[in-house]
Structure 1
Amino acid sequence: MSRRSAASSATGSRSPPCGTSATAWNRRTRARAAADMRRRILRATVAAVVCAVLLFAVPLGVAALRLYRQDEVRELQQTADQVAVSVPRQLRGSGDPMELPRTEGGTRIAVYDTGARLVTGSGPATGDGPVRGAMAGRASSATLGGRLVVAVPVGSGEQIRAVVRVSSSAAQPVHRAVLTWAAMGGLAALAVGVGVLVAVRSSRRLAHPLEALAATAGRLETGDLAARAAPSGLPEADEVGGALNRAAERIDRLVQRERSFSADASHQLRTALTGTRLELESALAARDRADPYGAMGSALESLNRMEATLTDLLALARDVPERAPLDVGALLAEVESRWHGELAAAGRPLRIVTDNELPGAVGSQRAGRQVLDVLVGNAAAHGRGAVTVRARETAGVLAIDVEDEGFGVPDDLDPFGRRQGNGDGHGIGLALARSLVDTEGGRLFLSRPGPGPRFTWLVAAPGG
């Protein structure tokens, strides 16, 4: 056997056999695990019921046997006391034989003189231990030869003139105890049966939520992020299910966010890559009339900016929204550094205006950089004249406006609709910019359609 086969055998063959799909194998594995769990719950409940019954029934059975024996001894003693009252002062030579009462159930009565000799009745010819004990002036009892024996003195103190001995079969208390034990056994069997029924129901009730949780986890494992655990009525399982649902929702949001960002970025950056490629090919084709190295340097700079954009997008797609203070001055400085030269080359000025007192704002520097890059790039591609970026306060919230002197946005066009690219590859699209702003807890909207269109970004406030 190979080392891998031995390891597989040692771990219980956790991998699916040949010809069996992983889904079916996982389903059967979960079914076996659920059945094992139900059996464990059933065994534990039945064992608890049986232990409880035994701990209650055994002492009770012993106590019942002792009680029946004490009852029998007490009855024998009462009989002996009744006989002792009728014992004459002279046991021998009185002329009239002493009459003993009739008894039932094998009870025997005997009277002994002070010499422990049998005078009348049924008993040993010479008094035994209980008789000798009664001679000392106290009633005594014992079990001799399978019989319960009670001896009672006649007289008191030093005037003991006779002893009455009464005996019966020692099996009578046992017979009564056996009947009681049988009744207790029936009740115990009934209790165990009820315990089994309760255990079966409880095992199903406890196992079903766990099976549902396992099934939901299995669906999540296969990539079904829409799977959710339904309420079961079991608080502990519902708490675990709620945590699983929250984790699934968070993973779903992160995955959707990453997919959306990746799709939009690839769609928009493909145009930029195509433009850069055409620029390089044109420069190479015109090698006799122009120096291609300038175009190559410009293309390399564009590629570096696109690489930085992709890095920011991937980081934003994977991370949770940031709630750190937003450095507005640094953002505006980056906008000026990034766009001043390109706009100046086209004869269009870039104006950065900042109010004296700005309210606090929170968010991600990466997201802010990308949003402003989109808005300024959109103005550069579709607008005219000067581009103005202004940071101001409105109703206690930081607002950043980006406007130009163009004709504006047509009424029938949604500027934030997906795949509404800017055509020349700048930026990553207004749709993704709005998605970034929404994720950061702010708002992005077209505050003035035109002429002189203006986009306004309301940045999330601290504690908002």
Structure 2
Amino acid sequence: MRRRLLSSTLLVAAIAVLLLGVPLGVVVSRLIVDEAAQELRAEATRLVGEVEYARIQETPLDPQQLEQKYPDRYIQIFERGNPPKATVVGTPPPSGQEMTEDAESDSGIFVRVSRDRAQVEQDVYARLLLIVALAVAALAVAVGLAIVQSRRLSLPLRDLAMIAERLGSGDARPSKHRYGIPELDRVAQVLDRSATRISDLLTREREFATDASHQLRTPLTGLTMRLEEIVAASDHPDVVREEGEAAIVQAERLTAVIDELLAAARRQRHSQAEPISIDEVLVQQVTEWDPVFRGVGRRLVLAGTRDLKALATTGGFGQVIATLLENSLRHGGGTVTVTTTSGDNYVVIEVTDEGPGIDDEIAPKIFQRNVSGGGGTGLGLTLARALAAADGGRLELVRRRPVTFAVFLRPADGQDRNRVVSGPA
């Protein structure tokens, strides 16, 4: 590219110099010749006047004085009279190389002034040489500017090519390089935006793999427990059938979780939110988690308003509740209460336990990724909040001691609300 820029710039500069320099040289040479002729004509006219003045004053012409006054000139003066006079001053130029101009007065005085044409040609050559030198200087300046411009263009292009190659290899860091050329800066901005988008995509892919592994752990744990119950109750057909059906439900939940994670990764879950029964999801979760809580000597209680409906997805809302229950099981203590209430703007589901609560140092960043106060992965609450937000709701920590998490969902229209007395699940 640099070579093409140099050659094209040099060609354009050479054409410009030829188009301007050749006519300029012709005009300058003609001007010099015309100026020399006009100078000779003026000298001849002036000599005619001097000779007439000398005749009137009856003073003879002094050839030496004329030679000093008109150096490098060959002067011939002819005067009519009886006898006629002729005066010659200077050395005649070589034959065929002279420039001659004549002047004559009414009184019969004739003057011819000649000079060597070689002197005029030397002056013409000197001026033409100056024009050639200026043309060469112009070409040199053009080449220098072409070199600077080619570097200014080629180096950024090479840099942009390296950035594009780096993006193709998976290094999606924005370069933030700017070159002072609007077009190249525009390309650099586009590459930086592309790098940012690619980095976001890669980050989401990595987060999806981490989130999937974390979220699939809970239904797999439930499925494992059901299979263990089947093995333990192999002597009781009715129990085996019941536990087998529960295991099938867990497997279906596992499939639903995978679908929800894929939809969330593609950012399609918000459009899938629809009116769902809050009771159905909560009863399902309580039914699955109650044996686990009873196994460690704790209770799981469902309280609040029944028959509530909200806009959400069954799988997403179920995952949020499952995450809160798992956190209460691992990090909380005592009885866990799931309370449902409703207002004009939100349906609220609160999960409260009787444990020691959350440290004041961790509470402000409890929903941040990789933040955990009990040796966990620090992903559960982050994913739960993302799932709630994807359904158009939100997950908040409303009380630190005893710890209470609240899920706020948009209410569905036309729902019947009946207040019931709280009690064990």
Q: TM above 0.5, one fold?
A: yes
Instruction: For residues 299-330 of structure 1, give each alpha carbon's deviation from its aligned partner in whole angstroms, at most 9, with x where no partner exists.
Output: 444333333332332333344997x8x96xx3
Picking from 363, 383, 397, the partner of 1:446 is 397
- Residues 17-416 of structure 1: matches in 2 within 5 Å? 37-82=1-46, 148=99, 150=101, 170-273=117-220, 275-276=222-223, 279-280=226-227, 283=230, 289-290=236-237, 295-319=243-267, 330=274, 333=276, 335-343=278-286, 348-349=301-302, 351=304, 372-381=317-326, 382=328, 384=335, 387-390=338-341, 392=343, 401-408=348-355, 410-412=357-359, 416=367
RMSD of aligned Cα (Å): 5.0
Give distance in 1, aligned partners of 2:105 and 2:34.
22
- Listed one character per residue, the Cα deviations across residues 216-265 of structure 1 (whole Å, up to 9, x for unaligned) are 22222211123523344444433432332232223212321231132122
Quote the Cα distance in structure 1 between the aligned partners of 2:301 and 2:26: 107
Q: Kindly tell me: are residues 300 and 370 of structure 1, through their superposed partners in 2, closer, same or farther at Cα, counting changes over 3 Å?
A: closer
The AA in structure 2 aligned to 1:209 is P
The whole-number CA distance in structure 2 between the counterparts of 1:280 and 1:83 is: 136
CA distance in 1, matches of 2:185, 2:23: 42
What CA distance in whole angstroms lies between the structure 2 residues aligned with 1:372 and 1:187?
A: 83
- Aligned residue number for residue 430 of structure 1: 381
1:96 counterpart residue number: none
Q: Distance in 1 between matches of 2:140 and 2:223?
A: 82
Instruction: Write the letter of the residue equivalent to 2:193.
Output: R
Q: Is the 8 Å Cα contact of residues 350 and 388 (structure 1) preserved in structure 2?
A: yes
The secondary structure found in structure 1 opposite 2:216 is helix
For the residues of structure 1 that align with 2:120 and 2:347, how far apart are their CA atoms?
100
Could you tell me how far 1:269 is from its partner in structure 2?
0.3
SS in 1 for 2:237: coil
Query: Hey, what's the Cα distance between the residues in 1 that align with 2:154 and 2:203?
Result: 33
TM-score in terms of structure 2 length = 0.64
Paired residue total: 364
- 1:353 deviates by 7.8
Over residues 68-105 of structure 1, what are the superposed CA-to-partner deviations in whole Å (9 max), with x where a residue is unaligned?
011022123224434655899xxxxxxxxxx9x76765
Instruction: Give the distance between the partners of 2:349 and 2:356, measured in 1 at CA.
Output: 14
Quick one: distance in 2 between partners of 1:243 and 1:376?
42
- Is the contact made by 2:172 and 2:199 (CA closer than 8 Å) also made in structure 1? yes
Tell me: CA distance 1:184–1:392, structure 2 relative to 1, closer, same or farther (3 Å).
farther
1-structure distance, mates of 2:269, 2:12: 52
Task: Tell me the distance in 1 between the aligned counterparts of 2:115 and 2:307.
Answer: 116
Letter matched to residue 176 of structure 2: A
Query: Contact conserved, 1:42 with 1:203, CA < 8 A, in 2?
Result: yes
Q: Distance in 1 between matches of 2:228 and 2:212?
A: 24
Cα gap change, 1:319 to 1:71, in 2 (>3 Å) = farther
1:214 is matched by which residue type in structure 2? A
Shift in Å, 1:296: 4.8
Distance between the aligned counterparts of 2:305 and 2:38, measured in 1? Answer: 113
**Rounded Cα–Cα distance in structure 2 between residues aligned with 1:431 and 1:220:** 29
Structure 1 gap segments, 5+ residues each: 1-36, 89-98, 114-118, 123-143, 359-364, 423-427, 460-464
Q: Deviations over 1:138-160 (max 9, x none)?
A: xxxxxx967655565655xxxx9
For residues 181-225 of structure 1, the C-alpha deviation after alignment (integer angstroms, 9 at most, x for no partner) is 212222333333334334333333333333333222222221112
Cα distance change, pair 261–440 in 1 and its aligned pair in 2 (3 A): farther
Aligned residue type for 1:307? T
2:83 aligned partner: none
Contact 1:376 1:387 in 2 (8 A): no
TM (norm. structure 1) is: 0.60
Provide the rounded CA distance (Å) in 2 between the counterparts of 1:440 and 1:65: 89
Deviation at 1:172, TM superposition (A): 4.3
Give the counterpart letter for 2:253 in structure 1.
Answer: R
Letter in 2 for 1:372: F
Give the superposition deviation at 1:64.
Answer: 0.9
- Classify the secondary structure of the residue corresponding to 2:354: coil
Change (3 A) 1:173 1:392: farther
Unaligned stretches of 5+ in structure 2?
53-62, 81-85, 90-94, 291-299, 330-334, 411-425
Q: 2:56 — aligned with what?
A: none
CA distance in 1, matches of 2:154, 2:170: 24
Give the Cα separation in 2 of the matches to 1:170 and 1:400: 112
Distance 1:451 1:161, change over 3 A: same
Q: Which residue of 1 aligns with 2:423?
A: none
Task: Answer yes or no: is the 8 Å Cα contact 1:41–1:199 preserved in 2.
Answer: yes
SS state at 2:29 partner: helix
Which amino acid in structure 2 is aligned with residue 375 of structure 1? V
Equivalent pair of 1:379/1:387 in contact (CA under 8 Å):
no
Secondary structure of the equivalent of 2:177? coil
Contact 2:77–2:88 under 8 Å retained in 1: yes
Indicate the SS of the match to 1:223.
coil
Distance 1:349 1:289, change over 3 A: same
Q: Which residue of 1 aligns with 2:414?
A: none
